[in-house]
Structure 1
Amino acid sequence: MKITDILKKECIIIPPKGNTKVEIIQELANLIFLSHPEINKEESLKGIFERESVETTAIGEGIAIPHAAIDGSTSITLGFGIFQDGIDFDSLDGKPVKVILLILFPKGDIGLQLRFLAKLSRFAHNKELMQNLLECKNPDEVLHTFQMFEEKEFS
């Protein structure tokens, strides 16, 4: 399961226009809804914000992974945003978030969720990847950067 097989160019924004955690989540989710009209917008946003209310998904080191499992989805969908300067996202380490990957999972497939989140954790802790992503200026560069690192991982 590769990020580049899931992340669509039209679901990447650099930088997002929103200035708050809520605005950014809504903006990334809207990119997903435009690309995947079969996904229920209200249920998705409700699930994401419920998850955020339990504990922040800003895991530290400038990375946030807001996510939810939703009915009606048959595959993982992603929205991706980069802030060069960072934004307050209630991060566990108190640092601004620069890389945000919003994920919608199909409800009921916990194994899929855990495998994908574990993969993202490996990527998130790769300082070279994170630095390269922060240097990206457009969606094509983001996809190319993920592709290069996935080739290293699978080789």
Structure 2
Amino acid sequence: MDVKYINPFIQAFFSVMPQLGFEDIQKEGISLKDDNLVSTGVIMTVGIVGEVKGNVVYCLSLEDAKAIASTMMMGMPVEEFDEMAQSAVSELANMLTANAATFFSEMGITVDISTPTLIYGSNVSIKMSANQVLCVKVSANGIPFETNIAING
């Protein structure tokens, strides 16, 4: 996978999160994973089609997902990961990926995205659409956020 495909996702995080009330945005690191992703917590997957194809999977712990939902809902306490909280973090995945699609467009690459699919639980296994997956770890107000990108150019 060409590393240039990760920049739109990093840019999207730095562009979208401040609009939602997150002030301290940090890039924590990048690592390489294989195509069998296993995660515990909240997982949001979005498909990418067009000139490049693949998927992006966002991973958060359940508590961090509730904290993000709370910030997105203007500080309203989120005690349970209910429909409202699920809707908020799904919309975040949609906003991040749509914003990344805009950055791809600025690079001259046309892509469309699918509706996010939200899954949560323990040891959830996801088969990524490319053999190599680039994992970008970022944080928003100290909340760790993992973006797993699998794109075939």
Q: Which has the higher helix share?
A: 1
Q: Which has the higher contact order (CA 8 A, sep 6+)?
A: 2
Tell me if TM exceeds 0.5: no
TM range (shorter): 0.3 to 0.5
What is the TM-score of this pair, normalised by structure 2?
A: 0.32
Q: Which has the higher strand share?
A: 2
What is the TM-score of this pair, normalised by structure 1?
A: 0.32
